[in-house]
Structure 1
């Protein structure tokens, strides 16, 4: 199964909330309360996004985090890359882990195809910006998600927008 990590998923949710009001400075505590993501996790993600150049950190009384670029200039791929590193659907494409070498590369018939698949997934994520994501889709365009038991108890669904 190809799946983003929970941190990458949460990072996309956090940036989507920030992109809905890009001029506002957001505190980690406010974002945690708004999204029902635990505060330590929000803090960890905001730090990674700031190190990745997607957020600016502001100190002081009116401090917090703000988007470093306009929402239309930040893609879902940018956020995933900042939190997880480059998108790689297989180990042989993961150039961030070790040397990226694969012990079966010489006999693998999928080698070129994995790169095509990886490029397609990366392109799809690059094609969605937070100018789009910051506004929830109309109900007729969405696929219902089921809430986890803890999220249902908190009154939030998977995406943090609420039930």
Structure 2
């Protein structure tokens, strides 16, 4: 879909009130629980009715976006479509259910496809989320390489949509080491 006219910019008139509005939380398999726990804390503070936990699978593409934020998706490589996405979905549901079993905040998990920033933005728009919650990159060489190639999901979100982005640090760099974290 190509938008006619200028891209809508952030502004007071576009602000979604925090109180009683959901959050969209980016999750990945094996993610540190701090991201979801931070989102739960935010949800409690603003009486959010629901947390939408969402995983965007980059090995799949969106066939159709639905008004409720769900998507119909297919494998980028149809020869490799072995249904493993269903295993990932089930593992994420189990991971989240264990993490949130004693939490009073209602949640839903959405399995999305494509670029995480675009997928999370679509879901946030569809559910009228007040905020997006994401973690920083995965620690280690693999996370640094992935961020170098794909870019930071948090940075893409902050620059390409109007909702606030709550970024949860997963690794703190000791400033006395002398180099900036993005220079590693």
Q: Fold match, TM over 0.5?
A: no
Question: What TM-score do the two structures reach when normalised by structure 1?
Answer: 0.31
Question: What TM-score do the two structures reach when normalised by structure 2?
Answer: 0.29
| Bigger proportion of residues as strand | 2
| Bigger proportion of residues as helix | 1
